[in-house]
Amino acid sequence: MRSDSETKNLIAELTKWSQENRVARIWWRDDDVSRPTSKLDSMLKTIDILDFKPLLAAIPKHSSQELAKALETAGLPIAVHGLSHSNYEPEDARKSEFGPSRDLHDIKIDIIRAKEQLSNIFGNSVIDCFVPPWNRIREDIIPILSQLGFSGFSAFGSRSSKIHESNLNWFNTHVDVIDWRNTRHFIGRETLISQITDNLRRQRKRSGTSEPIGILTHHLDMIENDWEEFRNIFTILKKNNAVRFVDPLELFH
């Protein structure tokens, strides 16, 4: 194992968790799964090696029976990732399928249809969790998601204050392994380790109960080398007594 400064900082942070008799929970979400590909195979191999199950956020309009078949043996929970992952916002605005430009009634119909369509393909593997495309949704939709058939919600970063009105099992992701602003590729080993360490530190210093740290992947934008780095890092985490990998079904039930 290479023991560079990032790894040393990570281990030092985990030692603090141990000293405080705490266990850091880590969970994983992968977005945009749509068809069987060799890139999906690389992720499935990683899941198998690490024995760590992600929540798959699948796009109903892009999913097929062929994909359901490819995922049959993996037994992974599937969340509703929009309906078609289309952007309805103007050119200069931030992308969103359920943003301010759309009529509330149309949004509700799409969200209900999204869950129906995905359930027709994946059956009981679909859980009642909604993951908005680009991690963005109109804030006024959040409190009504439970009326639309959802008990869970997942986006990115800090949870909004709407959590108190939502009655949802709400668990965000915090570390995105893709650098969307610049390269649109894997952020690299050092950055991934340091972002995990920063999030661990932030959670440890929070008052009250810590949130599980969510890792976000987009397997279609990753190559086998990226997964190799990912596996190396998560093997270090897995071996550490201060870490527990959390099954998404424990969070969204």
Residues that bind Zn ion in the complex, under the rule CB under 5 A:
31-32, 133
DSSP state of 217: E
Closest approach of Zn ion to the CB of residue 188, in Å: 21
Closest approach of Zn ion to the CB of residue 81, in Å: 6
Q: Cβ closer to Zn ion: 25 or 218?
A: 218
Q: Cβ closer to Zn ion: 6 or 32?
A: 32
16 and 207 in contact (C-beta within 8 Å)? Answer: no
CB-count burial class (<10 Å; 0-12, 13-18, 19+) for 181:
exposed
Closest approach of Zn ion to the CB of residue 24, in Å: 26
Instruction: Identify any residues that bridge with 217 across adjacent strands, giving them in sequence order.
Output: 30
Q: Cβ closer to Zn ion: 148 or 216?
A: 216
98 and 107 in contact (C-beta within 8 Å)? Answer: yes
Which residue's structure tokens are 């972002």? Answer: 195
Cα separation, 74 vs 51, in Å, equals 11
Q: Cβ closer to Zn ion: 81 or 189?
A: 81
